[in-house]
Structure 1
Amino acid sequence: MATTSNCPKEPSNADIVTYLKRIDDRICLMDKQFEAIDKFEKKVERVNCDLKKIWAYLHDIDRKTSERLRLIEVKTESVDFALAQASSKISSLENQRVELKNDLNYLQSQSMRNNLVSTNIPEAPTENPDTTEIKLGELMIAKMKITQDLVSQMSFERVHRMGSKVDVKIVTLSRNLLCI
């Protein structure tokens, strides 16, 4: 016969109920954990969706920035070209200005070579160019000791005073002096 001492003892109903209650508690705990995992997955999906939106936005910004940078580079090259042209034109204009200044100085010196400037000749309040020319002739006779005949033969193109009316003036003569 078989002995019952070697056989495992069968659990009682209370043991089974306790065991089932523990299994039920574990299943409830697992359900809560699955719910938490589901919530976490939904959060991860939302974050992933947000990250995709952010990535798309950043990609769009990068594309727009690259396009703007390309346009800026094109404009910069255009400005550099225009600046080089302007610099060349400025240099050319500066050279022309120097040439014109030299020409003007030459023309002034050529026009002034026939000028005679006298100073400290008193001026009458109602003096006109004819009177000024007579006074100049008198000065040439009195101070320069030129004879009356030579002074009478001289022909002046223009005789005028410079500056505003004062007691002492500078007389400038633009002349074609004809001494015969």
Structure 2
Amino acid sequence: MDMGQLSTFMMRVEMQLSGINQKLERLDAMDIKIKNLETMVGSNDSKLNSLGLQMHENFKSTSDQLRTLQDNIDNNSFNVGIASDKISRLEDELARQRDIVLDLQSRSMRDNLLIVGVGEERRKKKKEDGTDGEEDEEEDTQEVVRNLFKEKLQIAEGIVQSMTFGRVHRVYNFRNRQPRTIVVNFKNHRDRDLVKICANKLKRPRMYINEQYPPEINEQRRQLL
């Protein structure tokens, strides 16, 4: 082999060696990248494991809180049930007491009659303290009622004079410019019944006589009419 051929051969060998070195360098770079990737994967695995543990702890804590909340709800529901039962019993007792009071009111009014539309006379008299001027004279409501029974109901005077009353008085009337209603309490129930029977002789609607009932009973009667 002459010198020219030897030189050509050596150049080819050097070129092959250079190619091999380049490939080795590439392999070394790839090995470094693989190791870095393995490191990153290991780190991510560690993070994932830590995150998984944290999520598990959070889930356990949340589950415990939900159980506690459910227990509280169950206890509150039980307490609400007890309170509802107590309220229901109290409402029943209140209704019973209301019925008792209503019955007592009705009993206290059963001997009463209401006379509506009887005019009021405003009489004047001298002041009792001796000073100058006049003052309203108090109405004799019993006398007004007796006169009404005799003149309007045409009940015999002897019967009217024999009637005895517990109390006869006027009550406030919310309708303006209307005479105040007279409440008559009869001592004798037969006298009350007689007046009630004769009440149809009055000319409605200006003047009439009704039985007295508590407001609740009046409302019930009004709804039935």
Question: What's the TM-score, normalizing by structure 1?
Answer: 0.77
- Give secondary structure in 2 for the equivalent of 1:60: helix
- Give secondary structure in 2 for the equivalent of 1:166: coil
Alignment gaps of 5+ in structure 2: 1-8, 123-135, 192-225
- Asked if 1:173 corresponds to 2:170, the answer is no
What is the identity, as a one-letter code, of the residue corresponding to 1:67?
Answer: D
- Asked if 1:158 corresponds to 2:167, the answer is yes
What CA deviation, in whole Å up to 9, does each residue of 1:127-168 have, x standing for no partner?
74x522221111112122334444333332222223147343
The RMSD of aligned alpha carbons is 2.7
TM-aligned CA deviation for residue 69 of structure 1: 0.2
TM-aligned CA deviation for residue 19 of structure 1: 4.0
Quick one: distance in 2 between partners of 1:34 and 1:177?
125
- Asked if 1:28 corresponds to 2:37, the answer is no
Structure number with larger C-alpha Rg: 1
Quick one: distance in 2 between partners of 1:88 and 1:64?
36
Quick one: distance in 2 between partners of 1:39 and 1:111?
104
Quick one: distance in 2 between partners of 1:149 and 1:158?
20
- The 5 Å alignment of 1:131-146 reads 131-146=140-155
TM-aligned CA deviation for residue 74 of structure 1: 0.7
| Aligned equivalent of 1:72, options 69, 72, 95 | 69
- Give secondary structure in 1 for the equivalent of 2:140: helix
Between 72-81 and 42-51, report the one with greater CA deviation: 42-51
Equivalent residues, number: 168
Call closer, same or farther: CA 1:127–1:120 in 2, change over 3 Å: farther
Is the 2:119–2:179 contact (alpha carbons within 8 Å) kept by the matching residues of 1?
Answer: yes
Q: Which residue in the other structure is 1:57 paired with?
A: 54
Q: Which residue in the other structure is 1:103 paired with?
A: 100
Quick one: distance in 2 between partners of 1:149 and 1:178?
17
Is the 1:117–1:171 contact (alpha carbons within 8 Å) kept by the matching residues of 2?
Answer: yes
Quick one: distance in 2 between partners of 1:168 and 1:62?
81
Q: Which residue in the other structure is 1:7 paired with?
A: none
| Aligned equivalent of 2:121, options 114, 119, 124 | 124
Quick one: distance in 1 between partners of 2:166 and 2:151?
22
What CA deviation, in whole Å up to 9, does each residue of 1:21-59 have, x standing for no partner?
333222211110011112212221332233233223312
